[in-house]
């Protein structure tokens, strides 16, 4: 399931993030790429231990924890601390699939990348190119969102970032290990939760609400991998 989530960050929060990122020291993004992806990667990235990366990563994790759309769609068990990239001057990232397992820096913990997320920190009119292109069984999907908006999609997806030919594209990206491993099941739970919320808004006292909510939580019990 691919889902676009608006307004993860406010305009002021984006401005603060951008100010910090513009003053940071960037390195060649290939330093963090795998042995296959390194051949396709042409961008800049903040070092994982950079103070700005840690500060902004914690800030974004806090915002995600308060975002009901993300929580409902991802059903997060663990989230890898966000990373930050920068594309400019023709920089791109060719087709690749993300690593299946990531180690959490400075810990012994590992995270399975069930869900990939990109949080855009530049508005579309600030740069040309830089579209995220995600392939699935229905074809290629092109994503270029306003700053502060985010897209989530299955971590197993083949995807790329097209060359940025004007301006600079800033973004945060990270991976989530979900309580429910299979994307098809997460999609069904998302649709069920969305339907329940719509019914709750229009008919909060409907007699079927407890039963529907119970079905939702019992499915999570059935499908949870924890």
Residues at the binding site are: 96, 98, 159, 169
Q: Write the Ramachandran bin of 55: left for phi over 0, alpha for psi from -120 to 50, otherwise beta.
A: alpha
Residues annotated in the binding site for Fe cation, as ranges? 96, 98, 159
Task: Please tell me the total number of residues recorded for the chain in this structure.
Answer: 226
Sign of dihedral through CA atoms 128, 116, 137, 193?
negative
Distance (Å, whole) CA 141 – CA 116:
15
Residues annotated in the binding site for 2-oxoglutarate, as ranges? 169
Q: Checking DSSP bridges between strand 44-45 and strand 83-88, what pairing results, if any?
A: antiparallel
Contacts of 65 (CB under 8 A, 6+ apart): 71
Distance (Å, whole) CA 220 – CA 222:
5
Distance (Å, whole) CA 91 – CA 174:
20
């Amino acid at each position: 399931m691919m889902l676009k989530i608006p307004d993860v960050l406010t305009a002021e929060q984006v401005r603060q993030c951008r100010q910090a990122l513009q003053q940071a020291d960037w390195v060649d993004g290939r330093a963090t790429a795998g042995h296959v992806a390194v051949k396709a990667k042409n961008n800049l990235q903040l070092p994982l231990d950079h103070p700005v990366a840690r500060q902004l990563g914690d800030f974004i994790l806090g915002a995600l924890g308060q975002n009901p759309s993300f929580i409902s769609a991802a059903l997060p068990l663990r989230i890898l601390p966000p990373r930050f990239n920068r594309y400019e001057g023709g920089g791109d990232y060719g087709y690749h699939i993300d690593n299946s397992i990531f180690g959490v820096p400075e810990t012994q913990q590992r995270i399975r990348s069930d869900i990939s997320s990109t949080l855009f920190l530049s508005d579309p009119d600030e740069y040309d190119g830089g579209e995220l292109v995600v392939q699935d069984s229905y074809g290629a999907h092109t994503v270029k969102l306003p700053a502060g908006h985010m897209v989530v999609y299955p971590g197993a997806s083949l995807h790329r970032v097209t060359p940025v030919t004007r301006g600079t594209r800033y973004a945060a990206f990270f991976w989530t290990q979900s309580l429910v491993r299979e994307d098809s099941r997460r999609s069904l739970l998302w649709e069920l939760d969305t339907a329940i919320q719509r019914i709750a808004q229009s008919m909060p006292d409907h007699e079927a609400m407890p039963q529907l909510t119970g079905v939702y939580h019992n499915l999570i019990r059935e499908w949870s991998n924890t």
